[in-house]
Amino acid sequence: RGQSAGNEFEGAAMRALSRASTAAAAPSWLLRRCVSSFGAALMPAGAEAAVAADTAGEDQELVSSLLRAGTDEQPQPVSAPRARRRRDAVRLDDRTGRFPVVGAPMGELTAFLKERGLRPGHATALFTALHRDGVEAADALEMLPPQARAVVADSCDLSEPEAVMDSVSADGTRKWLFRVGQDDSEVETVFIPESDGRGVLCVSSSVGCALSCRFCHTGTQRLRRNLRPGEIVGQLQAARRLLGRFPGPTPTKSGPDGGAVTNVVFMGQGEPLLNWRSVSAAAEVITASRGGVVPPRKVTISTSGVAPAMPRVATEAGCSLALSLHATTDEVRNKIIPLNRSWGLAQVMEGMRLYSLAQSPRPPSRRELRRREREEAAVLAGTAPGPAEPPVDAAGRPVGRRLVMFEYVMLAGVNDSLDDARRLAELARPFKCHVNLIPFNAWPGAPFQSSEDDHIRRFGAEVLGLGVSCSVRWPKGDDIMAACGQL
């Protein structure tokens, strides 16, 4: 049926696939399709041996795990975080030949406009108009001179995803089906209004998913392609417009009007850390101060356990990290999250530890600096104790104080025993963390059932009793298939 677009392999993975193609007497496009859509289980005979033979001098397990995961970016060993890289390389959309402004970080946008004779101030004005004011067309950029507007009109793409379906739940949750890109791919995005005034937008990072987690509806779909930065940021832009958060009339729609997006979570379709290049660029745009949309601490990136990339959520994006843990032993986790066969619990928890120690790429705010000065003055004056010894994990290794989140779906008879609760508390206790217990949300053909509500409360009480912050994330939007795990 042809090769799925957007699933290109690089470096050792590409060479390994080439050798595997020869050894297995199968075309390389077939191997790429098997790997990206189904994992190594359907690779032709001889491919694994060819992969091992081709990776002499490289970490064979990491290359093999890359193939099993079906990612387009080679995982690195779990190690100390890397410094944030500059994002100023100009990349045109190879499908339209235009510059995708919606997903372009400031450095990239400035470099693009500079090549066309415009000043950095023009880039700042365009970025602000697009993300703060919701400008949709070049002729509406009245803050730019005619020459700059002409450049934007001729060479820039300001388009957003098209909402082809808009569903409203009885509890106010809203789900959109967005059409993205030139290939008419579709993804779902969910807006969850909270009673305390917050509005959480759950965005997708890929069309389909390669991980095949057994409790997740998205896992039943093959990965078609990863989303580009503009297609991720575009979900936020389109959602804010549909919620009436930009100047102009609120769109007519039965159901709740308005509602501000105060938090963004990368918990929709796809594994964000297997599309890190796009996700990190999108996070940089969403959290940019000139856009004035969402601060970094209110953006959460979720992962099923891509251990090597976990510290980069802090060092490159400066955002919060949520780990979809869902099991406390490798035996159970291997069954419900196939990715665990690539990076087991020990590696995943090490990735979480390195994330907790990592430093954000952004300098501390004035409020944070004042807080530190007050604490230092109190210590010097003798009115406060000195800094406490840093916490350590079970192996005695230091653990940082960056907040981490653990997500745990409650599957009846699978991972919901009180022994599981004790093991969960043991894993989470070293961290400054919060555990979200998630009742399983059913979908057609699902192989699991949710634990009873009373049992979930007992499970949570056990975790709380062992000194770990814990709460239940009760379903929202399940009547329109918008709850966690139903997209």
Residues carrying an active site annotation: 188, 484
Cα–Cα distance, 105 to 139 (Å, whole number): 22
